[in-house]
Structure 1
């Protein structure tokens, strides 16, 4: 909603527009306050037309029922807008993101009924991941969600997955038709130049310690992000009197776990709530290492988007990830990080400590990060691949 605080979707739409396409975005503003304006329209500085719809009102007493009602009702509202836009414009390509249930009716209408050329960017394996991290119980609701999501996925002509492991998971858990084209589409980020900043001045500005290594984690503080493991590692580091501080940037349903740890007198953890993107980049550029954490006992292969900003500022990555993903192997092959299996705080601390004690390796990873980003993850490169695949097949 704010061009000064962009996300992946902003960057994708902007790159498509710069490539000479006419882009229309339909945005469901899930964070929109109830009672505010129901819809809005604006044009971005790149020329992208954006239609914003607010979510419908939800029940307050039953959380799962509230979410289902909010998703279904909001999808109905969005489908009305889509129907009007489709009549007025001859779209050549429709792009949707998983989970599709949140935009189920528009997706089914455009990709299924209208048979538009369609691309699904598959980065959330709903509802399998939600079930495995305890956000959804197995049973009737899960089976209905699985069938609905599977049906919607089957309507798309192209499906872009973040890695080969993601492709394998997609094909083994959803009804992929033979004529659907599944390919690897990397996560992306805007490649604009970053302003140079003095690390000491930035640390002073944000009251960060100058005499300790700072390990940063940026992202939502919710289930599935390994927040418990991060706090366990911080506790072990304090017990061993290691000169490190863990900086956590973000908010979410588990933020109280972090705040309680800090309030208990543990000074080796600092938390900042959400900060604008440019400010976030300035802060993490003044850190020494970056954390990517997921949870154990899940089989859904993740590829965290926070990787992009870490690479842009040249932060070496320490990943604690599920054993089924190829993310850790990928960052190691690219020379930008190291990894261990999720759920083992002792092993994670050992990896962090070893990397901090190896300045030559640390320096090589810092230098490789921006280069790796430009070669593999810069949004214009990814969009070029996307358009080539759609044009060829």
Structure 2
């Protein structure tokens, strides 16, 4: 079967293994002819590349990450034109049986619709982001303004054009149904965030890391990943301040993002002594740090009206790390934590309750171990990239 995957964030395949690179690898390993179109990671590397045996067309784009909203918006709007041009320039035949595109971004609608028309193939949407409503929630866009209207129109077109839509949770399905009544319910189905188990480091290596970093007598609460408005890191700073009398608890933040500098300044201005901020790490090293931690943090802004399901939970499942989540009340992620018994949560902004939930984990090593093991077993059984592949093929009627 001939497949094309239109990607936004798609690292070099031999450097980082995450949900999209793993899914693409599954297509390739199962004998499918898959081509990826994605931004380049190096402006000197453009055009058709072979990465881990997969054809990847690397496209030079305007900066898509770490820039202001206007620059980011322009870069995203230009993507479909740049992708079309790259496909033509590299003489790629357009006879695809399956076209896969994730959100973000919804702006790839143009090239996805063009490919569907040219190839007569099926269009499968991996819905990981409900935009532009998430931007409205965070005050980044004004609802009913011209920019919102433009992107909302793109969103509606994408849902209409897609033959199948894989959603992260039941909450996502319900949200799409409620706010897009014209979308056929038959298109919508569950496609949970997925990831393949990465082998854990030996215990002696983790102990060495603890010793090296001075954490041998510390209870480490870790947060890893993007530091931006959606994460509302002020809530985690407030938790750290509330825990200042617990001298062995340390909060470790590893990542980058548009709010990184503001977070540094907040930690400094509030004189937070039990929180350390580190830059992002290569995946292999980062997983060691997560494995070293006692608790894994997830934080979502209380402003969200859309049901986000954070993919960073996968790294916690993988390393058998119990989860403490500060989340809005519109996501069903808290229900997932409760049902699977893999962590605890509190409403974002409720520092007292969040500290109470942290203390529950802090005081109960047996509970932490049980929750960590539950997450690991769940990921191994239900969240592999092979499972994701089978769902995509089955729902698309191509299994």
TM-score w.r.t. the length of structure 2 is: 0.89
CA shift at 1:260, angstroms? Answer: 2.3
Map Cα deviations across residues 58-88 of structure 1 (whole Å, 9 max, x no partner): 9xxx954433322222321112223567852
Alignment correspondent of 2:48: 41
Change in 2 beyond 3 A, CA 1:191/1:363: closer
Alignment correspondent of 1:351: 357
CA shift at 1:334, angstroms? Answer: 1.0
**How many Å separate the matches in 1 of 2:242 and 2:307?**
27
Map Cα deviations across residues 213-235 of structure 1 (whole Å, 9 max, x no partner): 10001110000112110111111
Return 355-364 or 227-236, whichever deviates more. 355-364
Pair 1:96 & 2:101 matched: yes
Map Cα deviations across residues 181-239 of structure 1 (whole Å, 9 max, x no partner): 2100010112243332323211123x14211210001110000112110111111111x
Q: The residue matched to 1:216 in structure 2 has which SS?
A: strand
Q: Given the alignment, which residue of 334, 342, 353 partners 1:336?
A: 342
Q: The residue matched to 2:325 in structure 1 has which SS?
A: strand
**How many Å separate the matches in 2 of 1:248 and 1:280?**
11
**How many Å separate the matches in 2 of 1:99 and 1:247?**
28
Alignment correspondent of 1:71: 76
The RMSD of aligned alpha carbons is 2.4
Map Cα deviations across residues 148-202 of structure 1 (whole Å, 9 max, x no partner): 2211221110000000000011122236433852100010112243332323211
The answer as to whether partners of 2:307 and 2:331 remain within 8 angstroms in 1 is yes
**How many Å separate the matches in 1 of 2:216 and 2:198?**
28
Pair 1:12 & 2:23 matched: yes
**How many Å separate the matches in 2 of 1:57 and 1:305?**
23
Number of residues paired by the alignment? 384
TM-score w.r.t. the length of structure 1 is: 0.91
Return 255-264 or 196-205, whichever deviates more. 255-264
**How many Å separate the matches in 2 of 1:263 and 1:275?**
23
CA shift at 1:350, angstroms? Answer: 1.1
Pair 1:202 & 2:213 matched: no
Change in 2 beyond 3 A, CA 1:362/1:87: closer
Return 282-291 or 349-358, whichever deviates more. 349-358
Q: The residue matched to 1:23 in structure 2 has which SS?
A: strand
Gap regions ≥5 residues in structure 1: none
Change in 2 beyond 3 A, CA 1:224/1:18: same
The answer as to whether partners of 1:112 and 1:155 remain within 8 angstroms in 2 is no
State how 1:1-393 maps to structure 2 within 5 Å: 1-2=11-12, 3-29=14-40, 36-37=43-44, 39-45=46-52, 47-56=53-62, 63-83=68-88, 88-111=93-116, 114-138=119-143, 139-174=145-180, 176-178=182-184, 181-198=187-204, 199-205=206-212, 207-238=213-244, 240-264=245-269, 265-391=271-397
The answer as to whether partners of 1:160 and 1:185 remain within 8 angstroms in 2 is yes
The answer as to whether partners of 1:100 and 1:152 remain within 8 angstroms in 2 is no
4+ residue segments displaced more than 6 Å: none
**How many Å separate the matches in 1 of 2:47 and 2:368?**
47
Change in 2 beyond 3 A, CA 1:208/1:134: farther
Q: The residue matched to 1:270 in structure 2 has which SS?
A: strand
CA shift at 1:375, angstroms? Answer: 1.2
**How many Å separate the matches in 2 of 1:44 and 1:64?**
31
Q: The residue matched to 1:187 in structure 2 has which SS?
A: coil
Q: The residue matched to 1:250 in structure 2 has which SS?
A: strand
Change in 2 beyond 3 A, CA 1:71/1:392: closer
